[in-house]
């Protein structure tokens, strides 16, 4: 078995011998992908700063993994469903989730359509068919299988994609999701961002499996490895998986090899458990740098254009941030008791009235 990850663009941003730009990515699409990846990078940098300044409580960046996020996301159709892990807020963004909603979710303030009910990065949007993230690892995978199952029962020409990290391949939910998707030949894609670290645990400690893609074979499902820092390859392999699903041939597992350039989240410190010299080496494989070199070399963009893009993206983010941060810092107390059930039962009406007597206290520490 050839375990080497598929690559279209090499680390210098040149097409590999025998490779061409995948079908479906014209010059405009490539420029758009570059802009999305760069915006995510700028956004993540800003959000990390906001977290350090105490303006938001938590953040899990996609830094270094933008090709996997946006390459796979680009291969989806608007009616497909996305069951995300921690780092796929960008998939919602590229499918029309407003930047304002993304930021408001992180602030958990009055503009947050989920009423500040979860920590930052727990995005979700009905319009983008992206159910709201939950923190437990891998639970979204049986949900993706179930969505794909429902699509098949309804005869819809769509797919469900479940995202996961490397650690999630150890979870029971991973195995049952792949088993059932395989058994019923469901139109599902399982896209694993193998950033090689589950907080402090490297893949070598996580599993004895030779590759994560190897796990798919047990469920009679193709398991593809792809260079997760190559946006063209991530797009192509996801697009092929989607086409396969729509032909009724069943699910595909994709292992995108990448590297978590920063901490797992703002709550940990990777210098305590890994050699950051390796992280320095991965900087040379930066997915944005790589696509940028290709765009420049092919004359699809020039240096002035890239600089102007960077400035306009920065402006867009700062303007959205200003708008969101200007909103009321908290959500109305009563929303705490909404949406537990479709309508508020008597015991919650009683408790809401009791809570209202005390209002929202300011924490003393």
Q: Are 252 and 258 in contact (CB under 8 A)?
A: no
Active-site residue (options: 224, 225, 239, 260): 260
Non-local (6+) Cβ contacts of 129 within 8 A are: 78, 79, 80, 81, 82, 95
Q: Are 37 and 288 in contact (CB under 8 A)?
A: yes
84 interacts with other proteins by CB under 8 A: no
71 interacts with other proteins by CB under 8 A: no
CB of 290 to other proteins, least distance (A): 35
Q: Using CA of residue 54, residue 139, residue 190, residue 210, what is the dihedral sign?
A: positive
Q: How many residues bind other proteins, per CB under 8 A?
A: 46
251 interacts with other proteins by CB under 8 A: no
- Return the residue of 183, 220, 283, 315 that touches other proteins, per CB under 8 A: 183
In the annotation, is 264 catalytic? yes
CB of 334 to other proteins, least distance (A): 14
- Return the residue of 93, 106, 141, 237 that touches other proteins, per CB under 8 A: 141
Reference 71, options 16, 20, 25; nearest CA is 25
Segment near other proteins (CB under 8 A); pick from 56-64, 176-184, 199-207, 293-301: 176-184
Q: What does the alpha-carbon distance between residue 76 and residue 235 come to, in Å, rounded to a whole number?
A: 9
96 interacts with other proteins by CB under 8 A: no
248 interacts with other proteins by CB under 8 A: no
Of 32 and 336, which CB lies nearer to other proteins in the complex structure? 336
160 interacts with other proteins by CB under 8 A: yes
Alpha carbon 243 to chain centroid, angstroms: 21
- Return the residue of 113, 217, 353, 356 that touches other proteins, per CB under 8 A: 113
CB of 357 to other proteins, least distance (A): 17
Of 75 and 151, which CB lies nearer to other proteins in the complex structure? 151
Segment near other proteins (CB under 8 A); pick from 9-17, 122-130, 286-294, 321-329: 122-130
The dihedral region occupied by 185, where left means phi > 0, alpha psi between -120 and 50, and beta the remainder, is left
The burial of 44, by beta-carbon neighbours within 10 Å (0-12 exposed, 13-18 middle, 19 or more buried), is given as buried
Alpha-carbon dihedral angle through residues 296, 300, 306, 312, given to the nearest 10 degrees: -170
Q: Which parts of 306-345 interact with other proteins (CB under 8 A)?
A: 338-342, 345
148 interacts with other proteins by CB under 8 A: yes
Segment near other proteins (CB under 8 A); pick from 26-34, 51-59, 146-154, 309-317: 146-154
Q: What does the alpha-carbon distance between residue 343 and residue 122 come to, in Å, rounded to a whole number?
A: 24
Strands 197-198 and 201-202: antiparallel
CB of 216 to other proteins, least distance (A): 16
Segment near other proteins (CB under 8 A); pick from 35-43, 46-54, 169-177, 194-202: 169-177
Alpha carbon 13 to chain centroid, angstroms: 23
114 interacts with other proteins by CB under 8 A: yes
What phi and psi, each to the nearest 5 degrees, are found at residue 113?
Answer: -70, -15
- Return the residue of 7, 65, 72, 118 that touches other proteins, per CB under 8 A: 118
Q: What does the alpha-carbon distance between residue 68 and residue 229 come to, in Å, rounded to a whole number?
A: 6
CB of 144 to other proteins, least distance (A): 6
Alpha-carbon dihedral angle through residues 45, 47, 48, 52, given to the nearest 10 degrees: 140
Alpha-carbon dihedral angle through residues 26, 157, 6, 191, given to the nearest 10 degrees: 120
**Which parts of this chain interact with other proteins (CB under 8 A)?**
81, 83, 112-115, 117-118, 122, 124-126, 131-132, 134, 136, 139, 141-151, 153-154, 160, 172-173, 176-177, 179-180, 183, 338-342, 345-347
Which residues are annotated as catalytic? 260, 264, 273
């Amino acid at each position: 078995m050839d375990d080497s990850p598929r690559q279209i663009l090499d680390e210098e941003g040149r097409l590999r011998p025998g490779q061409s730009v995948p079908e479906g990515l014209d010059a405009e699409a490539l420029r758009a992908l570059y802009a999305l990846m760069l915006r995510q990078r700028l956004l993540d940098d800003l959000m990390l700063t906001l977290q350090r300044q105490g303006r938001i409580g938590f953040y899990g960046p996609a830094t270094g993994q933008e090709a996997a996020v946006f390459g796979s996301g680009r291969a989806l159709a608007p009616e497909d469903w996305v069951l995300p892990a921690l780092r796929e807020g960008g998939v919602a963004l590229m499918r029309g989730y407003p930047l304002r909603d993304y930021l408001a979710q992180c602030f958990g303030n009055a503009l947050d359509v989920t009423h500040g009910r979860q920590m930052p990065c727990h995005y979700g949007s009905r319009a983008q068919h992206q159910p709201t993230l939950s923190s437990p690892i891998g639970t979204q995978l049986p949900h993706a299988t179930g969505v794909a199952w429902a699509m098949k029962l309804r005869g819809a020409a769509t797919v469900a994609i479940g995202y996961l990290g490397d650690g999630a391949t150890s979870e029971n939910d991973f195995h049952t999701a792949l088993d059932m998707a395989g058994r019923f030949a469901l139109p599902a894609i399982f896209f694993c961002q193998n950033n090689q670290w589950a907080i402090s645990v490297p893949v070598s400690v996580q599993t004895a499996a030779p590759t994560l893609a190897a796990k798919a074979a047990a469920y009679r499902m193709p398991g593809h490895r792809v260079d997760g820092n190559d946006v063209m390859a991530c797009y192509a392999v996801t697009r092929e998986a989607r086409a396969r699903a729509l032909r009724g041939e069943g699910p595909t597992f994709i292992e995108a090899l990448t590297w978590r350039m920063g901490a797992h989240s703002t709550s940990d410190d990777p210098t305590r458990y890994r050699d950051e010299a390796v992280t320095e080496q991965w900087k040379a494989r930066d997915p944005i740098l790589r696509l940028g070199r290709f765009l420049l070399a092919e004359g699809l963009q020039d240096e002035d254009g890239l600089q102007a893009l960077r400035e306009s993206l920065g402006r867009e983010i700062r303007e959205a941030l200003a708008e969101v941060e200007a909103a009321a810092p908290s959500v109305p107390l009563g929303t705490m008791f909404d949406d537990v059930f479709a309508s508020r039962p008597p015991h919650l009406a009683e408790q809401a009235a009791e809570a209202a007597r005390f209002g929202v206290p300011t924490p003393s520490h």
